[in-house]
Amino acid sequence: MSLATRTTTALIRGPTPAGASLARRARPARSRRLPAGSPAVASSSRSSSDVDDHRAGRPDARVALAPALAAAVASAHLAFAPLPASALYNKDLDIPITDPTQAVSVVYAVRDSIADVVGQIKDFETSCPAPTFPCDLSQPSVKISSRVSGPLKRSLPTLSEAYGADPYAVQDILQSVSTSEAMLYANMARVKVDFKGPVTFLDLVDSTIAAFLEELPEDARNAGRERWEACDLTVDPTEPGDLECRMGRAVASGARPTGGMG
């Protein structure tokens, strides 16, 4: 079970009756008692989980961001239904990319898209100040869903099957992307706007993808990169074309995704 899932579960599910009883005995006597499922009681379960994860050798960045991550995931689940699967670049989400060379090319396009999203979030840090946040906070969220998450789900499993790439690395990348999505959903809901957390996780995703690509055979990696670099980025991104080329054109043209559909 992932860190995000365990942390979110600890926040949503109340402790056992015995745990609740111990938590109440440890608190000073008051005129009324907190119910077993209250945030104060649940926090004891969360902090224990965080300590266990740290002792198990989890990456420091993930442990440090666990509280913000859990809040983002919980907010996303409560406030949003999943974005449409028919978004421009993941409309065929259930259809894997079976050509290994194209799959590598798509992964390179995804890295380009991640850099674009990170750049926009960093720009928001100065151009979209609190407390009103006068900007469209849905843009990074829609971009990562349609230009990162969907394409990776279609391409990474193919690379694992074709070249024997570590399937656990694939799962780790996809989980980190899901975590980033949840944090950006929370920003879009303006529950608690956080520009630093998503950047940290997206940087983690990008570095993990880079390491994953290095594990592929050199000729496969080079062939995929050459295919990606051969894309004509001057063409309108809405025109027909290979997935990786349409993604690259969207970034190059500064195309603005609309309504969760781009």
Whether 262 is covered by a domain: the verdict is no
* Proportion of the chain above pLDDT 70, given as a percent: 62
- Tell which residue, 24, 4, 1, has the closest CA to residue 12: 4
> Model confidence over 111-160: pLDDT tens digits?
999 999 999 999 999 999 988 999 999 999 999 998 999 999 999 999 99
Asked whether residue 38 is domain-assigned, the answer is yes
Closest CA to 172 of 207, 220, 147, 144: 207
Are both 43 and 151 inside the same structural domain? no
Task: Please report the pLDDT score of residue 92 as a whole number.
Answer: 59
**Residue 91 domain-assigned?**
no
Specify the pLDDT at position 139. 92
Q: Are residues 118 and 184 in the same domain?
A: yes
Mean pLDDT of 192-218: 94
Confidence (pLDDT) at 95: 83
Lookup result for tokens 């960093």: 122
Nearest to 114 by CA among 86, 148, 138: 148
Quick one: pLDDT at residue 55?
41
Structure tokens at 48: 């224990």
Alpha helices by DSSP H, listed for 99-237, are 100-127, 138-144, 150-163, 167-189, 196-214, 218-229
Structure tokens at 244: 């990786």
pLDDT value at position 37?
Answer: 47
Q: What is the DSSP letter of 57?
A: T
The pLDDT, as a whole number, for residue 91 is: 55
Q: Is residue 82 pLDDT above 90, yes or no?
A: no
Rounded CA gap, 19 and 215, in Å?
A: 46
Q: How many domains does the chain have?
A: 2
pLDDT digits (tens, 9 = 90+) for 26-80: 444 444 444 444 444 444 444 444 434 444 444 455 544 544 454 444 444 433 3
| 159 and 103 Cβ atoms separated by less than 8 Å | yes
206 domain-assigned: yes
Do 47 and 107 share a domain, yes or no? no
Q: Is residue 69 part of a domain?
A: no
Instruction: Identify whether 77 is part of a domain.
Output: no
Neighbours of 226 (CB within 10 A): 13
Residue 244 has pLDDT above 50, yes or no: yes
Rounded CA gap, 16 and 199, in Å? 36
- pLDDT-derived band at 237, boundaries 50, 70, 90: confident
Phi, psi of 189 (to 5 degrees): -80, -10
* Same domain (yes/no): 171, 247: yes
pLDDT of residue 32: 43
Considering the domain architecture, whether residues 53 and 107 belong to the same structural domain is answered as no
Is 195 inside a domain boundary?
yes
CA dihedral sign, ordered 211, 212, 217, 222:
negative
207 and 110 within one domain? yes
Please provide the average confidence, as pLDDT, over all residues in the chain: 74
Q: Answer whether residue 7 shows pLDDT above 90.
A: no
Structure tokens at 257: 């995704």
**pTM of the complete model:** 0.66
Choose between 56 and 85: higher pLDDT.
56
- Long-range Cβ contacts of 16-21 (<8 Å, 24+ apart): 19/44, 19/45
Query: Which of 58, 73, 88 finishes a domain?
Result: 58
Containing structural domain, residue 176 = 100-253
